[in-house]
Each structure stands twice: as C-alpha cells, then as structure tokens.
Structure 1
Amino acid sequence: MTSPARPTTAPVDETTILADLTDALRSVLDDAELEATPITLETRFVEDLDLESIDLVTLTSELRQRYGDRVDFPAFFASLELSEIIGLSVGQVVTYVSGQLR
C-alpha cells in the first residue's frame, strides 16, 4: 500500500527516507528478492537488485506519491549519465531526496 505524500512541514531524516525507499521497493520487487538482498545505503539498484529501467520508473512513481512535487525524480535521473544510473545506489537517492526536502 502506498503512503500518502508527507506534509511539507514534517521533518524527514535519512532513516525515514531509507524506510520509504525500502517500502517503495516492495511495489517493484517481490519479498523473496528483498530478503535476498538487504536494502542498505550501499545497495545498488541495477547491480544488486537487478532493477530494469521500467522498474526505476515504477519506483520513482511510488516515491512521487510519498513526496509529491517536492522531489523532482525525472530531473534527477535526467542529470545522470547511463553509467551513473547503472551504478546508482540507494544512498545516492536518499541523499538527493534529503537535499530536496531541506
């Protein structure tokens, strides 16, 4: 189930963002995949979780529902080179979201 967008006044720390991201990954991956690869800041979306581009689109859609327009995921991904997207880690997304919410 998707959580509603957080109010703009609610403080959101990196631990909460990591939990939100992990929850959003549940809509993309099945539980067996999530159990096989623990989600940490070092976890890489493509290399560790085998996410494909369509999975990243689904993931960003889930996160957009949580954060609304405060976090511009399309702009974030558009700023990355293909090699950067392939090596993208959970920590990089957490850092980006955190920076956008400040």
Structure 2
Amino acid sequence: MTEGQDVLGEVVAMLVEVVGEDFLLDVEVGPDTTFNRDLALESIEFVALAEKLQGRYGDRVDLPAFIAGMDLDEIMNMTVGDLVAHIGSRLGAAAV
C-alpha cells in the first residue's frame, strides 16, 4: 500500500467518524468523491474533519488554510483526492 492509499484510508475513516457509518453505506468514498455533491458535507462537519486532521497530522495539515487559497467553485468541487494530495504534499514537505 502506498502512502497516498494510507492517507486516503485515514481520511475515509475520519469521514466515517464525522458523518456516520450509516450515511456512507450508500456512498463509496474514493479519490473522485466530492465533499459537496457526493457527501453533502455541512460546514460543522467540515470543521469536525479539520479538527480530526489536525489531531492526526498536527499543524502540518491546515485544512482551513488550504481552503482559504481556493475560490468558491474550487471549494464546491473539492474531492477527497484533492485533500489526500494536499496532505501528501504537506507530509512530504515536512519530511524533507
């Protein structure tokens, strides 16, 4: 399993904790899954996800700062894969 797959698995596990396993029974979460259209994540759930990411990765992964650099269309179309790529880039940068 690659680092990207590990991060994807961790993000999916966090999403299960945030939105509930029952909700995700109807959705197969993968890199192309969108937070808005597919998961219908509400702002409070996004905040909970950000807290879980910080708890897992510390200050290296700052979801609010990542989103702050996007326009509204980019935020609305953000995928799980976009977040995984961001986490991977931050972890790679931290390891150097």
Normalising by structure 2, we get a TM-score of 0.89
CA contact (8 A) 2:15 2:49 kept: yes
Contact between 2:60 and 2:90, CA under 8 Å: does it hold in 1? Answer: yes
User: 1 or 2, which has the higher helix percentage?
Assistant: 2
Count of aligned pairs? 91
Tell me the residue number matched to 1:79: 69
SS at match of 2:25: helix
Counterpart residue type for residue 14 of structure 1: G
- Pick the aligned partner of 2:52 from 62, 70, 83: 62
Whether 1:40 aligns to 2:30 is yes
1:17 aligns with 2:7: yes
Give the deviation of 1:67 after TM superposition. Answer: 0.3
Give the match for residue 21 of structure 2: 31
**1:96 equivalent in structure 2:** 86
8 Å contact 2:50–2:62 — kept in the other structure?
no
Q: Which runs of 5+ in 1 are unaligned?
A: 1-11
- The residue number in structure 2 matching 1:5 is none
Deviation at 1:27, TM superposition (A): 1.9
Query: What CA distance in whole angstroms lies between the structure 2 residues aligned with 1:31 and 1:72?
Result: 25
Q: Distance in 2 between matches of 1:38 and 1:88?
A: 16
Which secondary structure does the structure 2 equivalent of 1:36 belong to? coil
Counting aligned pairs with the same residue, the percent is 36
Structure 1 stretches (4+) deviating beyond 4 angstroms? none
State whether residues 33 and 80 of structure 2, in contact with CA within 8 Å, keep that contact through their aligned partners in structure 1: yes
- 1:20 CA drift (Å): 0.8
With normalisation by structure 1, the TM-score equals: 0.84
